[in-house]
Amino acid sequence: QVQLQESGPGLVKPSETLSLTCAVSGYSISSGYYWGWIRQPPGKGLEWIGSIYHSGSTYYNPSLKSRVTISVDTSKNQFSLRLSSVTAADTAVYYCARHSASCYFGYWGQGTLVTVSS
Amino acid sequence: QSALTQPPSVSGSPGQSVTISCTGTSSDVGSYNRVSWYQQPPGTAPKLMIYEVTNRPSGVPDRFSGSKSGNTASLTISGLQAEDEADYYCSLYTSSSTFDVVFGGGTKLTVL
């Protein structure tokens, strides 16, 4: 069974960089699929942040592209998100997920709340 | 980015059927069959219910079905059950000029 688990600081200061990692078990990232990040501000809807293919190709939401970096570490079977220059508007539950080439997200992590506050 | 429009809320009684719409344009929903639907009960991660407009993953009850007409995709839940009460989101992948994934604003389903 494929499982994903997000980890990282729950509190980040404004203007700093948010960093999260998604550990994958039950499937080898290097075997295929795309691996993505989605976020959900409290009480609001879902927003795709970006994705990485197992080969390392990356795809970002145009509205966040200037601040986002997604990377993969196949040796640790995990992938990571970095979001720079955060503000209170970046406060959200951040999910990692696996998706197909037609971008349906079949497996999700449980999510982790990141609060941006001084 | 495209915008997908969903009704903020729908409701129905147990045993009834409800349909949730997801409206885009001829350039997105009307042009691509990469529409998926997610169910999100409060405090939980989203769960895939429908992919590529009409396909149901294994384990999803056949009470859930998807369709598309023109620029609008729809999720229909028949034989409504109390456990179906949740937020539902549609999603679309477009690759016309750039890789992009858009979610609808979400619909709150209340089982009366």
pLDDT class for B36, splitting at 50, 70, 90? Answer: very high
pLDDT class for B1, splitting at 50, 70, 90? Answer: low
Q: What count of CB pairs under 8 Å joins A to B?
A: 62
Please judge whether A104 and B98 are an interchain contact, meaning their C-beta atoms are less than 8 angstroms apart: no
Q: Residue B68's Cα: distance from chain center in Å?
A: 11
- How far are the Cα atoms of A58, A116, B98 from residue B103, in angstroms, in the given order? 19, 23, 16
Could you tell me the end-to-end alpha-carbon distance of chain A, in angstroms, rounded to an integer? Answer: 39
pLDDT class for B85, splitting at 50, 70, 90? Answer: very high
Q: Which chain A residues are closer than 8 Å to B91 by Cβ?
A: 46, 48, 103-105
Compute the average pLDDT of residues B56-61. 96
Please judge whether B45 and A111 are an interchain contact, meaning their C-beta atoms are less than 8 angstroms apart: yes
Compute the average pLDDT of residues A35-53. 96
The answer to whether residue B98 scores a pLDDT higher than 80 is no
AA identity, residue A75: S
Among A106, A72, A56, A97, which Cα is nearest to A82's?
A: A72
Residue-wise pLDDT for A90-112, tens only, equals: 999 999 999 988 889 999 999 99
Instruction: Write down the pLDDT at residue B100.
Output: 85
Instruction: Write down the pLDDT at residue B2.
Output: 59
Is the separation of the CB atoms in B107 and B92 below 8 Å?
Answer: no
Handedness of CA B51, B56, B60, B64 (dihedral sign): positive
Residue-wise pLDDT for A54-80, tens only, equals: 888 999 999 999 999 999 999 999 999
